[in-house]
Structure 1
Amino acid sequence: MDVSLSVWVLTVVGLCALIAADFFIGGRKPHEVSIKEAGIWTIVWIVLAALFGAGLFVFGTPAASGEFFAGYVTEKSLSVDNLFVFVLIMAKFAVPAAYQQRVLMVGVLIALVLRAVFIAMGAALISTFSWIFFVFGAFLIWTAWKLIQEARGGESEEEYEENRFLKLVERRFPSTDRYHGTRLTIVENGRRLITPMLIVMLAIGTTDVLFALDSIPAIFGLTQDPYIVFTANAFALMGLRQLYFLIGGLLKKLVHLAYGLSVILGFIGVKLVLHALHEAGVHVPEVSIAFSLTVIGAVLLITTVSSLYASRRIAAEEPVAVVEATAKGSTEPARAAGEDAGDVSGDEADRPSLRS
């Protein structure tokens, strides 16, 4: 789709206006975000994305509209994986609940700017080197396989490890050890210090770079139009803050998410390889955008349903396991229990008190 410079400018200005409205209406005053508020804003951002896609259909082309929706759904599903890490970051930095939405808002803006740089680099590579599709495709297939291996092995990130950039910032700039509202810096004893609020914002924004390494090639596998790639990423990211508060408690129930994302990434990787072969003159079938959107939607639906079913089954089995463990424990000889109790009582006479 041929997009003029004026359309690019109007789009960026419009996105900035939406972000400003989001901030002044719901994000300027620090507060704990309720499920109702998060749900309303999530619907608002989804409706805005749908209206934008409809606008592409009317004023652009049906193909452009289909590519946008496929890219948006893909980026939105991949962004859910970001939320797992965001939860770990919030816990590591002990961000108060009232300040979490401010952290996410600024962090997502940083992520959006960094993704714009990645998109520009990706578009430049595609226009210069046609073989880059082979690289993107192979990388996505490898990422999909790695996701499956991690899911089968039960590997998960239980702690957040700061990246090199954050460690450099903390070494070069002195910081406080507590929050001062939403302030990013303070002056203490004549010294300018950064607060944990600034550090956690940088953590959210820069960590997204790791996710962009697979999400950007994935969306380029659906469309090579930089305008659609950028807008799909923008709408997917801008609703991420509200999604964090809406489904934060449900994240642990999405036990099959890694499998679903691996199927999506693997499918797009194969699509990219087929496209690269087609560009090289090899007669291979190309995957249409309609088929891609159908596959992505079906995978997400099956993943969600199977995850909720598996989570419900696990929750139902836990009380049974507790009862069995309790019954097994109650069969231990009472004499042993008495001896243990006696030993503890005797030891406690010489044990220093832990109470202050």
Structure 2
Amino acid sequence: MKAILYTKYGSPDVLQLKEIEKPIPKEDEVLVKIHSASANAGDWHLLRGKPFMIRIMGFGLLKPKNQILGADIAGRVEAIGKNVKQFQPGDEVFGNLSDHGFGGFAEYVCARESALVLKPASITFEEVAAVPAAALTALQGLRDQGQIQSGQKVLINGASGGVGTFAVQIAKSFGAEVTGVCSTRNLDMVRSIGADHVIDYTQEDVTKNGQHYDLILDAAAYRSILDYKNILTPNGIYVFVGGSTAQLFQLMFLGPWISMTGSNKIVSLFMEPNKKDLVFIKELLETGKIAAVIDRRYSLSEVPEAIRYLEQGHARGKVVITLEDN
């Protein structure tokens, strides 16, 4: 089978398209023939091995432990191990492999059945491959860390990105009044997916317009955590799900202090893939409450270009990898 491999940390230039052996599923695994995958910020962080804590977390200190990137996949079950109960060959599935060794930028991958759910029949492989990591991050950030409630005023910073587009839609599904922050060119798109209000960050400073929010989900942190704290309501919550390394470290030091000494909570989220939440996301897809926004499509051989584009930070929604031969 064909796969995109990397054997050392570096830029997208270290990625190589190679022919390797097709994997054989273990007793508790499913072999999936991949039709589509999607790229996430985690892919280029893992590719570069930055921030360095990624290497310490078990992904390989000097070189990558897993040589095939790609967490989000959609495809068809080709074979199953003898202990697999939930799927049969021919089933159309999608899921997230970030707890299962990655491997999505390839023609085939083996995964435990807990990483997968059945694909909604009405949604294409491309559309559903764009969903898992971004939608799970948005859901867990809003519901679990943010404790979102109907009627709350919610601010989504980075509303036009992969996580942000799902966050706007999921917040609306919970009954929130949603404000999305994005650039000029993305205002209409963010409105179209349900935002009640939009703020163009190139024209307006969201931290100085007099508005306050019960919940801020920050998928594009680029300024001090204290600036966002100042626009929270008295019991408001700020949730960091993406941004610069500098902002992450600031949150790690200031967040606990702010949360312990005042009524606001300042927290971060590291998405935890799980089947229960993936089923919940599937139900939102089936009922039309959320849908993927796809910016660009690339072939398997174009994965380096896809990651270069994603790393620039200007993607509108998701970047999808389509395996045409599959």
Q: Normalising by the residue count of structure 2, what TM-score does the alignment of the two structures yield?
A: 0.25
Of Structure 1 and Structure 2, the greater strand share is in 2
Structure with max Cα Rg: 1
Structure number with the higher helix fraction is 1
Structure having greater relative contact order (Cα 8 Å, sep ≥ 6): 1
Q: TM-score, normalised by structure 1?
A: 0.23
